[in-house]
A and B are shown apart, each in its own frame.
Chain A
């Protein structure tokens, strides 16, 4: 019997120490039946991509509240591509101004979720857009 599970890496790049949002989203993914790898605070883009590769994840969720999203997210996307992981879906959560969100989506981020987004909406989007394989 085939028992495919969706695997998600939830990571916090950069220097801010506010991981409540990341934990809430990780929990919501878990309750939706996904396997969530949570890596903790202060992860570098290198560490995040290394973990995504080793864990063979379908989705990378980045939580950023420091305002450094315009530097950190492109670095993660570039490294994912360099490792041949361009089929991994990337979603971003945090305080991201709308024009930045548009820019990040143009770079390849599947969705940007701002404060107050219902977790069900995040789960539904992820389930609806994750790659088949």
Chain B
């Protein structure tokens, strides 16, 4: 085991912080580190929270993290905000709504760094590091999500979709998007008028999508006041108890593993092929594709050929 992995296992918080940076920046040290910690990551529970900007995801995450920490759990929080497509910089403001007085809570802000889908490319690695460091619960807050930022479901054991009253039309518009990935729904800011209507709209929309979704829990909260947090925790902890839910979770972990394998394979394959082709052939392929002398698929096949022949 690498020294850094040992430090993380022994609870060194600075080592964990440093390791997340290494994974984020695609450091050559990252693969060995993740391999060392991978066996220790199975027992952590990963809960994703997603929803439109401004519905109160950060405040909700803050309240949940505190409550779980009070119960003695160690809680990791990964809060994702968008990077600027122009400068590549990012303003990460989720911490404004997160008070972090508890040493059992570890909060880390991540920028999307050009990755679409509502999360960050290194999210899987960051979750594994936190799990490997002994954080039994990892809360992931996605960027403010619209209709297609559904990638969180390939990382989380349980996805919470957060909505607020007065967005009836959004519920309508979202029916094929993030509404489908919710294992659990929260109507936050429930002190605003129309919260019961929003609950009914979600309920009927879910019924239209799939009869089995009719029983999905919907919790009303006012996160700023701490209202409804206990009910939400009860719903979260109650999830995954029934045989059907357990089966669904096991299937999801297999899907996630399948996806991890494909991602790792794709990344390795590109590196290997690029190295095998050499920079001259790589640049030549790019030039020819850009000039429309060849198409990307044909150029890719030409670069692949020497490798497939060997095999």
**B95, A33: Cβ atoms under 8 Å?**
no
B147 within 8 A of A: no
Identity of the chain A residue whose Cβ is nearest the Cβ of B90 in the assembled complex: A35
CA distance A36 to B88 in the complex (A): 11
A40 within 8 A of B: yes
**Which of B101-109, B181-189, B190-198, B283-291 contacts its partner?**
B101-109
Neighbouring B residues of A16 by C-beta, 8 Å = none
**B18, A56: Cβ atoms under 8 Å?**
yes
Neighbouring A residues of B20 by C-beta, 8 Å = 56
Most buried by A among B20, B21, B91, B100: B91
Interface size class of B (residues with CB under 8 A): 20 to 34
What are the interface flags for A1-30 relative to B under an 8 Å C-beta threshold, 1 for contact and 0 otherwise? 111110100000000000000000011011
CA distance A16 to B27 in the complex (A): 40
**B18, A37: Cβ atoms under 8 Å?**
no
Neighbouring A residues of B25 by C-beta, 8 Å = 2-5
**Which of A47-55, A90-98, A107-115 contacts its partner?**
A47-55
- Summed over the interface, the residue pairs from A and B with CB atoms below 8 Å come to a total of 81
Neighbouring A residues of B95 by C-beta, 8 Å = 37-40, 51
CA distance A85 to B84 in the complex (A): 28
Q: A38-B95, A38-B96 are in contact. Are A53 and B14 (CB under 8 A)?
A: yes
**A30, B14: Cβ atoms under 8 Å?**
no
**A2, B87: Cβ atoms under 8 Å?**
no
Neighbouring A residues of B96 by C-beta, 8 Å = 38-40
CA distance A24 to B24 in the complex (A): 27
- B residues with CB within 8 A of A: 13-14, 17-18, 20-21, 24-27, 83-84, 87-93, 95-96, 99-101, 106-109, 111, 113
13 sample A-B contacts, Cβ–Cβ < 8 Å, listed by A number: A5-B111, A29-B89, A30-B90, A31-B89, A32-B89, A34-B89, A38-B95, A50-B100, A51-B107, A54-B17, A54-B100, A56-B21, A84-B14
